Structure 1
Amino acid sequence: MRQSHVVDDVTNAAVELFATQGYAKTSVQQIVTAAGVTKGAMYHYFTSKDDLLFGIYDQLLTMQKAHLDALIAEGQERGDDVDAVLRAVCVDVVETSIDRMREGTVFFQSAHMLSDERQREVVRRRRDYHDTFAGLVERGRAEGRYRTDVPAAVIVAHFFSDVHYLSQWYSPSGPESKQLVAAQLTDLFLAGLRP
């Protein structure tokens, strides 16, 4: 079995089990049984259950930050205005959050169970993402496009509270596509930024 298959199979099994029954109630044996691998194979790639939980966050955070950086760079290359860039970023984070809703569920249910060092790393990386996002808001403010009467931190928290709440009400099998929901949430957010 190739490395990527073991890592992917173990990660996918862990995401499903952590999301449905919780991190604390999921044993390593349940994970390897669901993944169809041995404990030895899992421990070859993950040193512990904590390592596996962090790996789920690492994949999600790395992917979303790479998307954010790429969208900003592409917007700069094209000379897009801040509205176009912020719109693309908002749509992307909603769509990728819907695509990885199970990982998001695990993230918000279990992040507090990581080791202290890894919790600090997750916080640092989320803050880095939010700071880059806030930089777009500040750019729009400097250009006179966005309101200045609400602190940027509140604006960023407002948008991401909608994103973090998706798993509580959105169903991929429901009537709204992820593209429609992403466009609607983005439109509402950007409308609220107008002076």
Structure 2
Amino acid sequence: MSDLKEKIIQTSLELFDQQGFHGVTVNQIVQASNTSKGGFYHHFQSKDELLFVIHDTFITYVLKEAHAANVIHTSPIPKVQAIIQAFVQVFDLYKPHISVFYQESLYLKPAYEEKIKGKRDEFKRMIFHVIKEGQEEGYFRKELPVEITGMAILGMVNWIYKWYKREGSYTINQIAEVFTDLVLHFLLPGRVDEDYLNHMLKVPFFYESE
């Protein structure tokens, strides 16, 4: 990525965060990044494409890391460790991008939204696949439904956005270690008390209507 393109992105991240997507014009981005309209349109067709690139950057990163984990590791255990580590790290590496994503994602044009959704769905499928792979090979608990387990992991990690602060008590590496530990503890087999398991099987899923 060129220095100018990165400068435009970083400048727009600050402006979008402060004023919202619709509160910022291309002229403001051009002026704040000390470039020209020609420089802006050389890298982005429109402000809408710029918003897409901001969204796409961190999703592409975590997807790339997940693919790399799948290639590098043969066992599902280090695979899921690497995927969780990269997934957590993204909330620090691309914190401004993610902040703008949650604030402004509704303004993505349908064509761009479809591309983002495609990558998010691909990442979700990769999470599901490694869980299923671990179950089939005897590494992970087979009684856990793949879809619920995968969505629990995605939801747990995504919530980092709400509370993570770079100046907080824990570094992103420490948080990644804790999250990896939590995920492995509920994935890896352990002795289950039969009375407790029988009790839980009788508990209704969510709430039954009276």
The two structures have a TM-score, normalised by structure 2, of: 0.83
- Tell me how far apart the structure 1 counterparts of residues 122 and 42 of structure 2 sit (CA, whole Å): 31
Superposed CA RMSD in Å reads: 1.7
Alignment correspondent of 2:45: 47
- Give the aligned residue type for 1:140: G
1:111 and 1:171, CA in 2 relative to 1: closer, same or farther beyond 3 A?
Answer: same
Q: CA deviation at 1:10?
A: 0.5
Alignment correspondent of 1:178: 172
Q: Between Structure 1 and Structure 2, whose CA radius of gyration is higher?
A: 2
- Give the aligned residue type for 1:84: P
Pairs within 5 Å for 1:184-195? 184-195=178-189
Tell me if structure 2 keeps the 8 A contact 1:9–1:35: yes
- Give the aligned residue type for 2:57: Q
Pairs within 5 Å for 1:49-88? 49-76=47-74, 81-88=75-82
Q: CA deviation at 1:129?
A: 1.2
Aligned equivalent of 2:145, options 124, 144, 151: 151
What CA deviation, in whole Å up to 9, does each residue of 1:11-37 have, x standing for no partner? 111122223332222222222222111
Larger proportion of helix: 1
Identity of aligned residues (%): 26
Q: CA deviation at 1:97?
A: 2.3
What CA deviation, in whole Å up to 9, does each residue of 1:54-98 have, x standing for no partner? 11122222222111111221113xxxx211111111011101222
Alignment correspondent of 2:159: 165
Of 178-187 and 20-29, more deviation after overlay is shown by 20-29
- Give the aligned residue type for 1:111: S
1:29 and 1:162, CA in 2 relative to 1: closer, same or farther beyond 3 A?
Answer: farther
- Tell me how far apart the structure 2 counterparts of residues 140 and 117 of structure 1 sit (CA, whole Å): 35
Unaligned ranges ≥5, structure 2: 190-210
The two structures have a TM-score, normalised by structure 1, of: 0.89
Q: CA deviation at 1:7?
A: 0.7
- How many positions carry a matched residue from both structures? 189
